[in-house]
Structure formats: structure tokens, C-alpha cells
């Protein structure tokens, strides 16, 4: 999966999506097209949301987060935040992977299994 999406022109990727949308659309009614389109959008939104939260976690771990909305910056200080200096971020980093328990994963797996049948 590391080779997907391929390293091709964004314009070519967009054109490919347009061609596929027109090719698949002819076989479905308008209601079916709307349903399938919304489902694909939901997949994309879920991926974007997951990726953004992962990016936030990674930035907090790596450090030097730029926060121009911080009180420190608004009072003439640096906009850079060092996670090791902030107890909230440090605590978040230390507990992020401890929060998920086996019961959480079992609950999600059971919910997924209900959709299969």
C-alpha cells in the first residue's frame, strides 16, 4: 500500500476520477449515484479526520508546535511551544496509547460484525 496513491500529476489524478465517475454513473439511477457518492465522500472524510488527528499527535511528539493563538505569543513571546514544557501535552503524550483497552477494540469489532450479517 506504500505505492498508493501513485506519484502522478494531480491533474491526471483528477481527470482519472472524473472519467471513472462518468463511467460508473451510467449504470445507476440518480438515487443510487447519490448514495454511492455520499458513501465515497464519507470514506474520504473519515480518512482526512483520522490523518489530521494523527498529524496533531505527531506534531506534539516531535515538538516545536507553532501556536500564534497562545497567550505567550500575544504577549510578545515566541509562537513556538515545546511539548516537554507543557504538562498537558506531556501528559497527553504519555497516556495516548494507554487509553485504548482490549474492551474498546472488542466493542468496535462487535459493531463491525453486526454490519456483516
Cα distance between residue 68 and residue 60, in whole Å: 15
Q: Give every CB contact of residue 25 below 8 A, 6+ residues apart in sequence.
A: 33
* 58 has pLDDT over 60: yes
Stated length of the chain: 117
pLDDT tens per residue across span 63-82: 656 676 777 777 887 777 66
Whether 15 is in a domain gets the answer yes
Is-above-0.95 flag for pTM? no
C-alpha cell at 67: 501556536
Any domain includes 35: yes
Mean per-residue pLDDT of the chain: 77
26 is a domain residue: yes
CA angle 94, 98, 102 (to 5 degrees): 170
- Tell me whether residue 23 is in a domain: yes
Residue 96 domain flag: no
Neighbours of 47 (CB within 10 A): 10
Q: What is the CA radius of gyration of the chain?
A: 21
Amino acid at each position: 500500500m506504500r505505492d498508493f496513491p501513485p506519484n502522478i500529476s494531480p491533474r491526471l489524478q483528477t481527470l482519472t476520477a472524473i472519467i471513472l465517475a462518468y463511467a460508473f454513473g451510467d449504470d445507476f439511477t440518480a438515487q443510487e449515484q447519490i448514495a454511492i457518492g455520499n458513501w465515497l465522500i464519507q470514506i474520504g472524510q473519515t480518512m482526512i479526520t483520522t490523518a489530521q488527528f494523527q498529524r496533531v499527535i505527531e506534531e506534539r511528539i516531535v515538538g516545536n508546535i507553532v501556536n500564534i493563538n497562545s497567550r505567550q505569543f500575544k504577549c510578545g513571546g515566541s509562537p513556538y511551544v515545546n511539548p516537554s514544557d507543557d504538562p498537558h501535552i506531556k501528559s497527553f503524550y504519555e497516556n495516548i496509547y494507554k487509553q485504548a483497552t482490549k474492551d474498546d477494540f472488542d466493542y468496535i469489532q462487535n459493531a463491525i460484525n453486526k454490519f456483516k450479517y
